[in-house]
Structure 1
Amino acid sequence: MPSAFNFSASPFDCLTLDEQRLVQDSVDIAYFPQGETILAMGAQPTHLFVIIKGFVQQFDGSDVVTTYRPDDCFDGRGLVAGRVSSRFVAVEEVVAYQLAKHAVSELIAGNATFGALLFSDLSNKLSALSERQSRHELQSLTMARVDEALLRPAHFVEADTSIMDVVKQFHALRTATLLVRDRRVDPPALGIFTATGLQRAILHGTPLDRLLVGELANFSLIRVRPDDQLGEALAVMLKHKVHRLVVADGEQIMGVLEALDLFSFLANQSYQINIQILEAQDVATLKLAAGQITRLIALLNRNGTKVNLIARLVQELNAKLFERAWQLIAPPDLLANSCLFVMGSEGRGEQLLKTDQDNGLVLRDGYACSVDVAEVCDKFSEALAEFGYPACPGHIMVSNPQWCQNVTDFSQTVRLWWMTASPDSLMALAIFLDAHAVCGDTALLEQVRAAVFELAADNDAMLARFASAINLFGGNGAWWNRLFLMGDQGKEPLDIKKLGTFPLVHGIRSLALAQRIRVTSTAERVEALMAAGKLPEKLAGDLMDSLHFFMGLKLKVGLQALETGHAASGGIQMERLSSLDRDLLKDTLGVVKQFKVLLNQRFHLEAL
């Protein structure tokens, strides 16, 4: 039987070695000329087909339901149901594996993930995918490199330094570990002294200002290389019963790996970046932490962490990063009399890779700053740009006076957005509705947000204008047809934000505004709408599954772009997607289409 069967394609990538052998023993190859009907409506299928070469289209009547290409399989649902409910036609010459029904039934019975990926609905497919990824998470983390964890800086003292001066160094450098150079021996020795050695120093009996650190330092250093696996580093710590390892590349000392940081990495890598941010004393140090956030995202994604959990961690870390940057740049009186906030996907807690800055500042009425506020805001925007967050093309930033006002003026601006109801003003209002405070007096922001909800009360006409933005993109249905194009057709990237994320998020935002729901994340808005009986439970679940899929797909494509030296974008190249991702994309965009129908009915958008 064929030995080149592609077990890396879904759903066969979840099979055990024994299950793979079953497939190889039960598979054969079939050929179908162009135009031949492979499976007719109502037929009783005997095989599952996996395409090797060519394209097959599934028809419902005369309408194309989907297109299958190499490595795709069909018709799993018909095989299980015992009856084909569509027509499958070879639109060009097709060579395909055909896997016997008894083998497919055995695989489904013994492997729940295979069955879910083969023929389940959207939520079950995603659940099976998530469960499969989580099994590998801890194993993948222990296989990460040592230099992917937080390495403490290596600080050096000479062996003839007094313990009193060492303690001063501990305090000044905010560290508990110093490396000790002893140049009195040949070749020079390198040792380590930590805060736990202070007890021995006190019990030594020699005055601390005369006791030399070289007498108490441990010169039997345990080293690891930066490219060693973290699992190996953990084993070394356990073997030698030490809490710190010196990380060295040859003779170059890269830093110190502490047990607490290693365990924190395995449990929650964000802890280390949080420490870096909180201890930062300048913007340059914060820039290093900002770079770590992107590496953390890539690592968590590679390890199978759920995308909504990654987004939540990123929101918390970015909030800490922005807060610390603002604290370092703004004077104390400005910190006490303002509220710095973020908006858009950052405000909703749905941002992953770095995107344009969306932020603003609300000042207390009557407050007169001791410095030029505009100059401080410019420095903050410049700092974020250095961190990798580019300036917003629409200038929705604190450096724009429209987004840096006192409570009264900002509230008046929001009212003008609502009353003007132009496309730009309603988009500004939508962005502001996602505002999330990161530093300062949050009550100032809430006062401005309250103005929005006062105006929205019982104003159906304006709510309809606001909600109508869901129809800005993809209204002619051409994008939907592109999902079924073959080969080189339709190679223009699909904008997942415009076609999927935006109508979903803005639709939920519009329903939440109509109900005066004040939470900002899409997940919280969905929960509140469901609790109020304004969103069916099944649709609510499908919408959140779809949003998380869009976020994950955009992240995957963005990371691939970054790895090849290109900027991350929202464009999806359909021909580069796996068969599973194409299938899920079709399902999730179908959910958005269904949701838009509900929104058009709810807000009577056809009357606009």
Structure 2
Amino acid sequence: MQHASPPPSPPSQGTDPAGFDFARAPFDLLTAAQREALADALDIGLYPRDTAILSREEPVDALFVVLRGSVQERRGGEVAAVHGPGDRFGLQALYGSSRGGGRGESAGSTGGGGTGGGGTGRIRRFIAAEDCACHLIPRAALEALAADNPAFGAAVLGDFAQRMRDLAAERSDREMAALTMARIRQAYLHPPLFVEGTASLREAAEAMRRNRAGSVLVRGGDGRTGILTGTDLRDRVVLDGHPAGAPVGPLARYDLLALDRDDLLFNALVLMTRHAVRRIVVTEDGAIVGLLGQSDLLAVLSNHSQVIGVQVEHAAAPEDLARASRSIVALIRTLHATGVRVSFIADLVTELNRRIFRKLYELLAPPELLANSCLIVMGSEGRGEQLLKTDQDNGLILRDGFDFPELPRIAADFSRHLISFGYPPCPGGIMLSNPDWTRPLAGYKDAIFGWIHRPDEAAQMNLAIFYDAAPVAGDPSLLAAAKGYLLGRLQDNQMFFSHFARPTLSFDTPSGLFAALFERRRAEPVDIKKAGIFPIVHGVRALALERHLAETNTVERIQLLAEVGALDRKMAADLAEAFTILSTIRLKARVDAPEEESELAIDNLVHPDRLGKLDRDQFKDCLALVKSFKELIAHHFRLNH
């Protein structure tokens, strides 16, 4: 039978069902005849300590039940659970891989994993914590029992579905908790518009029209500040008959509702609801700095991934997707400001971006094109590491022999709409509007052959980007076939891998930045991507490609490289942590910038003198580790020879 991700030394297999515990739920629901049928169908897998039992994105066709020993369930670099005798795992891998198109859909457990419905939760791996044996229940036997015994089927599959719902609810609660901790300063504040109390109603109206404001703040003669809204103007002039030349001072309301800029948005919502008002005054150090409108407050609190996801699913036109795309930036700002880990934010952004790309393609492409193509994302988007919007890296794989005359127009429209959503065009043209990245499977195979066997600089870049590809819409088997061809063509060619790994050393990683050199160059910014993030990403990518690994996410590649012995476990743990810290510093540098700048491509520049002491110390340590990792890569691939 077929098993997902067989270990370097394949487990020995047999059909001896000895030791299976039929007294444990839900197997106690089976009749004697059903138990006999299951016993006849069972296989046994033996796994030495540290063996990867379930990993990668390969299919699995059995449910695992631990017979003896223990199995660690790992999520990224962390142990999420430990399974002992009688525990079962692998149901998500059994039924999750058919959902298609995303990271984290192929290796899971009855204990949770993934996000359901095409989510992008990190892949869960199952590692033998000690020498262990597992019973393997084939899919066909499991489904036959579920059909023959509805109570058993409901217990197995229903339990799995409930765990998936619980996981989604837990993630939603975590995200909502972060949003409800958002501060007023994270919302848009309308600049305060002041008029003197002696100004006329007409002058106040003209000031509102000129500044496109819905209210004015009135400076009263007694030193108090009041407010006059557009609704007040209508009521005073039209309904109450006050002349347009009457002063605003006596007509303003001086019972202002005010909160500090660092107060919770949730408190502002409560205050507006309690007093039935649509705006409150915001102060900082006792001075009025703006007005918070109800619609602006709700815009922040509605930037929940589920709300954005619903907007995407109900989009009827590209313009609807543009609004959802703009909401993602506000969601990132809010989650980061409330301390949510960057890996969680990256998972959310990956999922939402892919939903937007998929929906846009479905809006533009007729059914026959969808059925005969695979939309892919590459680069950081393919690795699931995208945060704020950077260059597009996407392509389209067509089924061999399929011809669609309208394709150039659809591809151009796809790229054009993404640009309008705020995703900048790729300077290298790696997007659907470029025919080199919209071609049949055979064309991709020809290109891959050239990238491997004629590896100039452009070929190496294209191979690296494509190796990170992930399916988004259409038929994912087309990408699987192209990736399979890529990994199958690789040979143990030291020269090829040396060429491929060399860009890891392309950029300088400062070493004296925080010593005397730093004191002289304190104001000089550092390109954090070139100095720290790219060397980790590409060095890890080179090691993963050498081992023919299918993972795309950098942290997951690091973990698997440690499991197969290609990386020292301490170096792997340090690299994963450094990658997270550098990504967090990079994100912080952008979200702390003015909001309009965050809509632009990330410039990757970090000013060390603007970092707090903790961030600066971590930055220094991370760059030192990157230098050590680059030395490891140079030695491993003989780049100094």
Counting aligned pairs with the same residue, the percent is: 38
Match of 2:634 among 590, 600, 608: 600
Give the Cα–Cα distance (whole angstroms) in 1 for the partners of residues 174 and 324 of structure 2: 29
Which residue identity is paired with 2:497? Answer: L
Which residue identity is paired with 2:543? Answer: L
Matched with 1:543 is 575
Matched with 1:466 is 500
Match of 1:297 among 332, 348, 351: 332
Alignment of 1:98-113 (within 5 A): none
Matched with 2:547 is 515
Give the Cα–Cα distance (whole angstroms) in 1 for the partners of residues 438 and 422 of structure 2: 22
Alignment of 1:340-489 (within 5 A): 340-369=375-404, 371-474=405-508, 479-484=510-515, 485-487=517-519, 489=521
Contact 1:338 1:441 in 2 (8 A): yes
CA drift of 1:553 comes to: 0.9
Say whether residues 1:569 and 2:603 are aligned partners.
yes
Matched with 1:326 is 361
CA drift of 1:362 comes to: 0.2
Which residue identity is paired with 1:495? Answer: D
TM-score (norm 2): 0.55
Give the Cα–Cα distance (whole angstroms) in 2 for the partners of residues 147 and 597 of structure 1: 42
Matched with 1:494 is 526
Match of 2:584 among 539, 547, 552: 552
Which residue identity is paired with 2:363? Answer: L
Matched with 1:271 is 306
User: What stretches of structure 1 of length at least 5 have no aligned partner?
Assistant: 1-133, 150-186, 189-224
Contact 1:487 1:575 in 2 (8 A): no
Cα pair distance change 1:518/1:444, threshold 3 Å: same
Aligned to 1:481, what secondary structure does the other structure show?
Answer: coil
Which residue identity is paired with 1:291? Answer: R
Contact 2:181 2:338 in 1 (8 A): no
Give the Cα–Cα distance (whole angstroms) in 2 for the partners of residues 314 and 410 of structure 1: 28
CA drift of 1:541 comes to: 1.0
Which residue identity is paired with 1:483? Answer: F
Cα pair distance change 1:279/1:247, threshold 3 Å: farther
Give the Cα–Cα distance (whole angstroms) in 2 for the partners of residues 351 and 255 of structure 1: 26
Matched with 1:231 is 266
Give the Cα–Cα distance (whole angstroms) in 1 for the partners of residues 355 and 276 of structure 2: 29
CA drift of 1:272 comes to: 1.0
Cα pair distance change 1:236/1:483, threshold 3 Å: closer
CA drift of 1:591 comes to: 1.1
CA drift of 1:374 comes to: 1.2
CA drift of 1:493 comes to: 2.0
Give the Cα–Cα distance (whole angstroms) in 1 for the partners of residues 502 and 186 of structure 2: 49
Cα pair distance change 1:511/1:560, threshold 3 Å: same
Give the Cα–Cα distance (whole angstroms) in 2 for the partners of residues 136 and 353 of structure 1: 18
Give the Cα–Cα distance (whole angstroms) in 2 for the partners of residues 601 and 255 of structure 1: 55
The Cα offsets for residues 350-373 of structure 1, whole Å up to 9 and x where unpaired, read as 11100010001000001122x421
Aligned to 1:605, what secondary structure does the other structure show?
Answer: coil
Which residue identity is paired with 1:598? Answer: L
The Cα offsets for residues 143-200 of structure 1, whole Å up to 9 and x where unpaired, read as 4469969xxxxxxxxxxxxxxxxxxxxxxxxxxxxxxxxxxxxx99xxxxxxxxxxxx
Match of 1:591 among 625, 631, 640: 625
Matched with 1:314 is 349
User: What stretches of structure 2 of length at least 5 have no aligned partner?
Assistant: 1-172, 189-237, 240-258, 281-292
Give the Cα–Cα distance (whole angstroms) in 2 for the partners of residues 441 and 523 of structure 1: 27
CA drift of 1:489 comes to: 2.3
Which residue identity is paired with 1:348? Answer: R
Cα pair distance change 1:136/1:279, threshold 3 Å: closer
Cα pair distance change 1:573/1:253, threshold 3 Å: closer
CA drift of 1:253 comes to: 8.7
Which residue identity is paired with 1:426? Answer: Q
Matched with 1:141 is 180
Give the Cα–Cα distance (whole angstroms) in 2 for the partners of residues 146 and 246 of structure 1: 22
Which residue identity is paired with 1:272? Answer: V
Cα pair distance change 1:604/1:387, threshold 3 Å: same
Matched with 1:77 is none
Which residue identity is paired with 1:600? Answer: A
Aligned to 2:521, what secondary structure does the other structure show?
Answer: coil
Matched with 1:527 is 559
CA drift of 1:248 comes to: 4.3
CA drift of 1:423 comes to: 1.2
Q: CA RMSD in A?
A: 3.4
Give the Cα–Cα distance (whole angstroms) in 2 for the partners of residues 249 and 489 of structure 1: 46
Cα pair distance change 1:248/1:236, threshold 3 Å: closer
TM-score (norm 1): 0.58
Give the Cα–Cα distance (whole angstroms) in 2 for the partners of residues 338 and 139 of structure 1: 39
The Cα offsets for residues 203-251 of structure 1, whole Å up to 9 and x where unpaired, read as xxxxxxxxxxxxxxxxxxxxxx9x99553478689x99xxxx999459x
Give the Cα–Cα distance (whole angstroms) in 1 for the partners of residues 429 and 443 of structure 2: 18
Cα pair distance change 1:257/1:561, threshold 3 Å: closer
Alignment of 1:79-98 (within 5 A): none
Aligned to 2:439, what secondary structure does the other structure show?
Answer: strand
Aligned to 2:603, what secondary structure does the other structure show?
Answer: coil
Contact 1:138 1:303 in 2 (8 A): no
CA drift of 1:482 comes to: 3.0
Matched with 1:155 is none
Give the Cα–Cα distance (whole angstroms) in 1 for the partners of residues 176 and 512 of structure 2: 37
CA drift of 1:332 comes to: 1.7
Aligned to 1:437, what secondary structure does the other structure show?
Answer: strand
CA drift of 1:552 comes to: 0.8
- Tell me the number of residue pairs that the alignment of Structure 1 and Structure 2 aligns: 385
Cα pair distance change 1:308/1:372, threshold 3 Å: same
Alignment of 1:231-250 (within 5 A): 231-232=266-267, 248=278
Cα pair distance change 1:432/1:368, threshold 3 Å: same
CA drift of 1:344 comes to: 0.7
Give the Cα–Cα distance (whole angstroms) in 2 for the partners of residues 143 and 381 of structure 1: 34
CA drift of 1:139 comes to: 7.2
Give the Cα–Cα distance (whole angstroms) in 1 for the partners of residues 307 and 563 of structure 2: 37
Contact 1:246 1:256 in 2 (8 A): no
Cα pair distance change 1:562/1:378, threshold 3 Å: farther
Greater mean deviation of Cα atoms: 573-582 or 503-512: 573-582
Cα pair distance change 1:139/1:287, threshold 3 Å: closer
CA drift of 1:563 comes to: 3.2
Contact 1:354 1:388 in 2 (8 A): yes
